[in-house]
Amino acid sequence: MLSKTMEKALNEQINAEFYSSYMYLSMSTYFDSVGLPGAAQWMQAQTQEEWFHGMKFFRYVNERGGRVALKAIKQPPTDWKSTLHVFQEVLSHEQKVTGLINNLVNLALDERDHATNIFLQWFVSEQVEEEANVGAVLDKLKLIGKDATALFTLDATLGQRVFTPPPPKGE
Ligand code: FEO
């Protein structure tokens, strides 16, 4: 059984993951509007991944006898200055999420909630991967600078990304 404090914190994380999903969807439509369909597809995959994260927390709270309480999802930004700006915002957002996950781990440890601690370790590793993936795109964008041809080539690569949910065993 989850403590009330842990239940509340996990519910906040569900909201944060669904907000991430919503924010990436907004970024996806931004890229569609500026003629970068590959980056739009990359963001769609990211949207699905964040929804999956939210649902993973959702199922966990239920499994542990807690009660999910869905809250309003705040409005995401709708405009950015450039492709580079979007991906800078993505990195900064993911760094914030890493902080949230670390805070949840600290809480689980404080509460001696070993099951939640083990559950959260998947997210600890996932955040390392997420920050690395975005960092790699950012590095390329910095090299590209104002070279439109190189940007279109990168866009084609970004468009190959698809989200495949990990098998349930890995959960
Ligand atoms: Fe759900 Fe991008 O962390």
Q: Report, as an integer, the average pLDDT of 136-149.
A: 96
Nearest-10 Cα torsion for 84, 86, 91, 97: 180
> Is 90's pLDDT higher than 80?
yes
Give the Cα separation of 28 and 37 in Å (integer).
8
Contact residues of ligand 1, CB 6 A cut-off: 17, 20, 50, 53, 94, 97, 130
**Tens digit of each residue's pLDDT (9 = 90 or more) over 42-70:** 999 999 999 999 999 999 999 999 999 99
- Distance, CA 92 to ligand 1 centroid (Å)? 12
> Is 151's pLDDT higher than 90?
yes
Domains of the chain: 4-158 (1.20.1260.10)
- Distance, CA 149 to ligand 1 centroid (Å)? 31
Q: Which DSSP helix (H) or strand (E) runs through 99?
A: helix 83-110
Which band of pLDDT confidence, cut at 50, 70 and 90, is reported for residue 169?
A: low
> Is 143's pLDDT higher than 60?
yes
- Distance, CA 25 to ligand 1 centroid (Å)? 13
- Distance, CA 65 to ligand 1 centroid (Å)? 24
Q: Coil, helix or strand for 120?
A: helix
Q: Atom 1, ligand 1: which residue's CA is nearest?
A: 50
Q: Atom 2, ligand 1: which residue's CA is nearest?
A: 94
Q: How many residues does the chain have?
A: 171
